[in-house]
Structure 1
Amino acid sequence: MTTWLIVLLTLSLAVNTALAVFLFRLRRTPPPPVSTVPALGPSARELAELHEQLAAARQETGAVEEMLRGRELELARLRALHKEAQDAHGHEAESAGREEIAAAQRQVRALQDVVRQVTGERDAARAEAEKARQRLNEAEARTDAPFGPDEVSPAIPRRIPLGRDTTSDSSVDGADLGPVVVRAASVRGDRSRDEGEHRRDAFLLRFAEELPSPTLLSVVAAGTPHGRWTQSAADRACRNLAAQVARYAEPLGHQLFRPTDSDDDLTALLRTAMQGVAHSMRLLTRGEGQGGESDDTALGVAPTALLSRLGDTRQRDHVVFGVGDGALMLLRDGAWRHVFTPGTTAAEQGLRLPSAAPRIRCARVTTQPGDLLALCSAPMAELLLRPEAGEWFAGRWAGRQPYLTTFLSEVNVPARVAGGDRTVVCLWDFGDAREARAAAS
């Protein structure tokens, strides 16, 4: 009789334990992932969420510890009953209920396994609570952010863009081309968001397959604010420039990446290509100007383009050209350098297509493994040249390949610039494909 009582108690204890573990797992919900919004410094909402995560983790730890103590007490009581039954009946009880006792012992071992599992879950809950506490301490201790926290992230627009020429608030693209990695992003500026205007900039990444050597074409086109068709004109300038490069691929192939004492022939070719771009832009407003001509005031765009030679090489050649106030920046040894801008004076930086197509300027640039080139619109170049902001971007982009969403968030970091929209194409030169794969890992 005592043996059957022990067996029933054991089975009841095992069922209760399994049910308690099942309910505990059902109640548990994983803590929300740490936000990766690149705001520089925690917001009040983020701190509150971290406090809630820490409190929830501590509560879970307490619940697991209480349940573990209860299971240990029940296990000790069961062992005591088993020992009393063996002492009272001796060999007679053992011979009469050997199979029942063996089953009870198996149940005890199963209960021990459950206790060990619950102990592991308790330790995991403690570890999660400790991680939450560390994240909270780090967030509260961050006082070195160069821009300060922002209560509402500017990455989430609060107005839909207005206007007939409207486009998306943000855009991102990129590719891993062996030793060359490229990321591109364009975001609407704070001023345009506040005023409900749309983004005016555009960019393009294209493999110029018509050229004899593998070449990447990167274009950034910044539209003038308040122009009626500047976004469409910027987008058309990017796409038509790719078409013009393909059209003049044969003569460009002889001029682009070869030693030469003079770039007059190359400049003349690029000027002809840019004039073709200007003609394509004017088709947008044909008949809207005086006398049925195009209205150039509604189209103003400052394009800057980069032709980059691909393939494994220890010294990579590039040709940069454009009109207006765009810029090409170089990140080397942790410091940004201003390499090229189409306009050297204030008057030249104010030039825009389509009227300024003959005023194109170009230059040759060479990069080494580990260098980063950033083809920027003027507001983005201004941000990179600020000491604290430049260090912030350099720390995130030097020698690494960000995911597209991460790159877009970093370009959209909360920092006001005077010019509005930010557009940038970043090109990482790793020398050969093996170094690029090592950096990615």
Structure 2
Amino acid sequence: MSPQGDTPTTGEDDWWGKLYDEAAPDTAPTASGDTLDDRFRSASGTVTAGPPPGPGRAPWEPQDPADAPPGTPRTFPGAPPRRLPRPRVEHVGDGPPTYEPEPTALPPARAHQLDALVADTVLDGARYGTYTLRAASVRGDSARYRGEPRRDALLTARFGTGDTALVLVAVATGARGTDGAHLAAAEVCRRIGEAVGRSHQRLAEDIRAGRRGELKSGLHRLTDRSYGRLRARAADLGLEPGAYTAGLRCLLLTADPACRTRVFFGCGDGGLFRLRDGAWQDIEPAVPESAALTGEAVVGYGSPPAETAEGDRLTMDLHITTPPSPYAEEPALPPAEPFRFRASVARPGDTLLLAGPGLAEPLRGEPGLARELAGRWGTGEPPGLAQFLADAQLRVKGYADDRTGVAIWEA
């Protein structure tokens, strides 16, 4: 019986028994010096040998069948023919960036405030319904060099289960030149997460039903309340509101595969982009001068409620009687920046990108970056987490701020 349980032939059984029979005498060298090890090496060489390595190839590299003479058997063991990956660029623009590409100095730490430390890089992802989500936040080259903390904060959260679940992605950027910028960014993400979490069932229902008006007003109130708490925290710390604040941008997506409505809202700088048919579209809701002065809501991207110029449709609110809105639970102070809102329906093949200012600015200002990311992300196949991280931190000379981006691939 062979080790595999099959009954071997008599000749095979005899050979196996002679080779491993403990009672058999050791195989002595023959007159020609041929031993069992010699025979094994000879047989092994016969099986694995291939034609000599081609020009420029090291002896240990696998033979490329294209270089072998006709009729030459494929080398075994050896790697199958490999597809060369698309050449990757490390930076775009007219030259390499000034700073080093990897972290150098760590931010300062205090023994009694270790919870205030933030990691250099945060990476996350998910897949629900018809979309795949990738999110990354990376400390900028300048902050890495100076040993400053990452001012950008990233929150990804799912509330609820099954098709009724609601996914929130929040990106915040702390005010430049303030000591607690990273803390304010993390806090405003946490505040909006708490507010959305408490109202996630109603929000998910409104998104699936296409109640644009209720979504706009409800999310506006949730955002105002989050900023009100941020200002209260600034007062507790003895700081002016402007010294403890952050821009905030969010995406809301349901897990229902039948719902393709994507909702954007927030305040402050950054960008909202869509990659469609190989070209980037800047779909950031514009800020009229009156809104910038009064803090009123900015809606749409200059589009009518039912359908945008790009063909985005959103079901209108049917004015069905509903219970009082649960969004407003307490008085709120509005943020200093105008409120932005956009709701649209995604198409298969779209890639939606929510970007903090450190990614939005070079995407708008450096055509080479827009072309490179369009080439990488326009294939319809979402990248893995590691590849998305590499793409998100593609470097551009003159842009050294934190890089934070959330991309949604639509199947």
TM-score strictly above 0.5: yes
1:65-84 alignment to 2 at 5 Å?
none
The CA distance in 1 between the partners of 2:351 and 2:118, in whole Å, is: 29
**Cα deviations across residues 327-365 of structure 1 (Å, max 9, x unaligned)?**
21101111111112474569949x8x9762683221112
Report the secondary structure of 2:34's partner residue. Answer: helix
* Cα shift at 1:240: 1.6
1:326 to 244, 247, 270: 270
Distance change >3 Å, CA 8–CA 150, structure 1 → 2: farther
Residue 8 (structure 1) aligns with: 30
Distance change >3 Å, CA 115–CA 265, structure 1 → 2: closer
Residue 93 (structure 1) aligns with: none
Question: Is the counterpart of residue 402 in structure 1 residue 386 in structure 2?
Answer: no
Question: Is the counterpart of residue 303 in structure 1 residue 262 in structure 2?
Answer: no
Does the 8 Å contact 1:211/1:252 carry over to 2?
no
* Cα shift at 1:325: 1.4
Q: Which moved more, 1:143-152 or 1:200-209?
A: 143-152
Name the structure with the higher helix share. Answer: 1
Does the 8 Å contact 2:133/2:406 carry over to 1?
yes
Q: Which moved more, 1:148-157 or 1:398-407?
A: 148-157
Distance change >3 Å, CA 155–CA 346, structure 1 → 2: farther
Does the 8 Å contact 1:182/1:427 carry over to 2?
yes
Distance change >3 Å, CA 148–CA 126, structure 1 → 2: farther
Q: Which moved more, 1:141-150 or 1:266-275?
A: 141-150
Residue 362 (structure 1) aligns with: 341
1:316 to 249, 260, 263: 260
Distance change >3 Å, CA 318–CA 269, structure 1 → 2: same
* Cα shift at 1:231: 1.0
Distance change >3 Å, CA 204–CA 406, structure 1 → 2: same
2:395 to 414, 417, 429: 414
The CA distance in 2 between the partners of 1:187 and 1:346, in whole Å, is: 34
Amino acid at match of 1:146: V
Distance change >3 Å, CA 210–CA 227, structure 1 → 2: farther
Does the 8 Å contact 1:271/1:358 carry over to 2?
no
TM-score normalized by the length of structure 1? 0.62
Does the 8 Å contact 1:327/1:342 carry over to 2?
no
2:133 to 182, 204, 208: 182
The CA distance in 1 between the partners of 2:88 and 2:159, in whole Å, is: 45
The CA distance in 1 between the partners of 2:267 and 2:389, in whole Å, is: 26
The CA distance in 2 between the partners of 1:197 and 1:7, in whole Å, is: 70
Amino acid at match of 1:373: L
Residue 372 (structure 2) aligns with: 392
The CA distance in 1 between the partners of 2:89 and 2:121, in whole Å, is: 29
1:5-404 alignment to 2 at 5 Å?
8-10=30-32, 12-14=33-35, 18=38, 112-117=42-47, 119-120=49-50, 126=59, 128=61, 146-147=92-93, 154-162=100-108, 166-209=117-160, 213-249=164-200, 251-259=202-210, 263-289=212-238, 295-313=240-258, 316-341=260-285, 343=287, 348=292, 356=335, 359-385=338-364, 386-398=366-378, 399-404=380-385
TM-score normalized by the length of structure 2? 0.66
**Cα deviations across residues 387-416 of structure 1 (Å, max 9, x unaligned)?**
211111122222122222222122122223
* Cα shift at 1:426: 0.8
Distance change >3 Å, CA 379–CA 228, structure 1 → 2: same
Distance change >3 Å, CA 281–CA 126, structure 1 → 2: same
The CA distance in 2 between the partners of 1:412 and 1:242, in whole Å, is: 26
Structure with greater contact order relative to length (CA < 8 Å, sep ≥ 6): 2
* Cα shift at 1:375: 0.7
Residue 319 (structure 2) aligns with: none
**Cα deviations across residues 15-51 of structure 1 (Å, max 9, x unaligned)?**
6x74xxxxxxxxxxxxxxxxxxxxxxxxxxxxxxxxx
The CA distance in 2 between the partners of 1:372 and 1:7, in whole Å, is: 70
Does the 8 Å contact 2:125/2:134 carry over to 1?
yes
Does the 8 Å contact 1:166/1:199 carry over to 2?
no
The CA distance in 1 between the partners of 2:225 and 2:102, in whole Å, is: 38
Distance change >3 Å, CA 370–CA 196, structure 1 → 2: same
* Cα shift at 1:14: 3.7
The CA distance in 1 between the partners of 2:89 and 2:124, in whole Å, is: 33
* Cα shift at 1:117: 3.6
Q: Structure 2 regions of 5+ residues with no counterpart?
A: 1-27, 68-83, 111-115, 296-331
Does the 8 Å contact 1:342/1:360 carry over to 2?
no
Residue 51 (structure 1) aligns with: none
The CA distance in 1 between the partners of 2:355 and 2:373, in whole Å, is: 13
Distance change >3 Å, CA 345–CA 326, structure 1 → 2: farther
* Cα shift at 1:311: 3.0
Does the 8 Å contact 1:221/1:377 carry over to 2?
yes
* Cα shift at 1:172: 0.9
Distance change >3 Å, CA 321–CA 342, structure 1 → 2: farther
* Cα shift at 1:384: 2.5
* Cα shift at 1:7: 7.1
Number of aligned residue pairs: give it. 319
The CA distance in 2 between the partners of 1:192 and 1:403, in whole Å, is: 26
Does the 8 Å contact 2:163/2:254 carry over to 1?
no
Report the secondary structure of 2:250's partner residue. Answer: strand
Does the 8 Å contact 2:103/2:145 carry over to 1?
no
Amino acid at match of 1:365: S
* Cα shift at 1:302: 0.6
The CA distance in 1 between the partners of 2:352 and 2:98, in whole Å, is: 31
Report the secondary structure of 1:9's partner residue. Answer: coil
Distance change >3 Å, CA 234–CA 128, structure 1 → 2: same
